[in-house]
Structures are given as structure tokens and as C-alpha cells.
Amino acid sequence: MNINTQILEKYIPSEASAIVSRLLDPHELELRIVRNRTTKYGDFNPSVRKKKMPLITINNNLNPYSFLITLLHEFAHYLVWKDGHLYAKPHCRTWKNHFRQLMETMMNKEVFPESMLPLLKGHMQDPCATSCTDVNLFKELSNFDSDRPGVYIEDLPDGMVFHTDDDQLYRKEKKIRKRILCTRLKNNKKYLFSPIYKVFPLKNKQYVMVFPFVFIFLLHKQK
């Protein structure tokens, strides 16, 4: 395993360090901790064409529990690849079995908070591509984030205007199955958001349309 164990200990629960070391050390595998990416927490790259070691990357801003779950998630991809299932679907039954077995070595109250264990056990019955799709588990994990501003979009009332990290303005319309339908005010197009996407509501502002796609915002002083 191509990473300093002492460095890895800074990112995962201390009680998991010895177990993780035993899992990873026998493998020719590189683990790289990288800057935050908004589209993913981690990934696995076999790096076969470049004749390099298989590579796992994990975002450096994850809390210890999210980091550990992501690491085992990506390591399960490595095991599928190592087993020779080169053309298997990313989150096939083989991957689920590997991921489930890896997580079972960690699912105890010495590694994870006791409040998280029932949610993890439920999630591992049929693990999916990311913990973000399991709303209850994701919210529990996010309670341990050091700094995640904003509010969950599902907690906003219908009709509220909000902006995203890139300062685009939307209006929440309604929930459709597992997604939230929103209108982008700039072009009036409809978009579907994950219910656990964090946004910034315009609680102390009102907007009025002056011309198509142009808005003026009036700030109201707090009393």
C-alpha cells in the first residue's frame, strides 16, 4: 500500500486504523488524498494503460466516518477489478458483496457512533452507488462535518427562492418522488435536485421581475 499509515490515521476514526492497515497493506495500491470535488467523494482508477499502480483518491474534507465509508467503497471497486471482473458494472452484486464484507469489519460502536449503526446496517442490506442517495444516513453523517453551511433543500417550504454555491437563483416547486423540482429564475428552466443538497435561502430578501431574466433584489433590514 503506497501511503503513510500515520497520514491515513488523521482522516479515519482511530479505532479503525489497525483494521484498515491490515486490509490495505498486502495490496499494490496507491491511495491519494486530494482536494474537495463537488461531484464525488472518491474514485478508483486501475491505471492499467499508464502502467502505474491502481489508484484510489479520496477528498480531504470528509469527516472521519464519511472518509472511512468512502475508502472502503472504493477499495471494494479495487477488489472487483483485482478478481478479474474487468467488465462488471460499477455497483454490481460482486461489488456489493465486497463492500458489505468490508463494512461488517467496522460496524461496531468502537468505530462508528451508536446512533449511526442502525442506519449503516439498513444501508448495507442493499448498498448503492453513494451514501448520498440514502437520505437518513447522509444526514447523520453530515452531523459530524466541521463546516457545511446552508440548509437541506428538502427542508425549505415550496415557493422559497434560494441560491446555490455558484450563486445561481432557483425557486423550490415541489417534491417529485425522491427529487425536488426547482425552477432556475434566470431562464425559467426546471431542474431536479437531491433532497439533501445544501442551498442558501433568501430569507431576508424579496425579488421582483423587471424584464425577462432580470431581477432586482431589495434588502430588508432585520428588526
Provide the mean pLDDT of the chain.
82
pLDDT tens-place string over residues 175-186: 988 789 999 999
Selection from 140-149, 150-159, 191-200, 205-214 with the highest mean pLDDT? 150-159
pLDDT, residue 46, reads: 87
Q: In the structure, what pLDDT confidence band is assigned to residue 206 with cuts at 50, 70 and 90?
A: very low
pLDDT, residue 217, reads: 39
CATH domain 151-219 topology = SH3 type barrels. (2.30.30)
pLDDT, residue 92, reads: 82
pLDDT higher than threshold 50 for residue 221: no
pLDDT tens-place string over residues 159-178: 999 998 888 999 999 998 87
Look-up of cell digits 478508483: 44
* 46 SS3 class: coil
Which among 116, 40, 53 is positioned nearest to 81, based on CA atoms?
Answer: 53
As a CATH number, domain 5-142 is 1.10.10
With both helix axes pointing from N to C terminus, report the angle between 117-124 and 135-142 in degrees, rounded to the nearest 10.
140
Taking residues 16-31, report their average pLDDT: 90
More confident of the two residues 149 and 171: 171
Give the H/E segment covering residue 76: helix 64-82
The C-alpha atoms of residue 22 and residue 209 are separated, in whole angstroms, by: 61
- Break the chain into its structural domains and give their ranges: 5-142, 151-219
